[in-house]
Amino acid sequence: MELNIYAYKCKRCGQLHYPYKTICKKCGDNDHNEFDIVALPKNGKLLTYTILYNPPSDFEVAALCLGIVELEGGMRITGQLDIKNPKTGMKVAGKVEVVRIDGYNKHLGMVFYQE
């Protein structure tokens, strides 16, 4: 089963929102239940990144690389990077995976790999 991250598409004007908004940021005239749920694309371009050398202990890694990716279609998302030498502008492909374990809870997020 393929996992996805979802955006919310305004039924009136077609504007995509991620994360969820109660009112459309484009037409401003929407009720909270007037959005269609659509899967975000998983491929895109790395816009910027940073490396955390002291992430919270529940990440269980010495360093955590995070990036902002512009997905196909223009939506931007933050995700973990599993790339040895990231470079801004490079093409990346994402997968929804477990990014953190907190006790018995598994937290899912987007992890990007070099395309």
SS3 63: coil
> Tens of pLDDT along 7-41?
999 988 889 999 888 888 888 866 667 889 999 99
Residue 71: which of 79, 63, 60 has the closest Cα? 79
Residues 6+ apart with CB under 8 A from 70: 44, 45, 47, 76
6, pLDDT greater than 80: yes
Sign of the four-CA dihedral 13, 72, 98, 90:
negative
Could you state, in order of their start, the residue ranges of all structural domains in the chain?
6-39, 43-114
Residue 98: which of 55, 71, 59 has the closest Cα? 59
**Single-letter amino acid code for the residue at 95:** K
pLDDT at residue 30, rounded to an integer: 65
pTM reported for the whole predicted model: 0.89
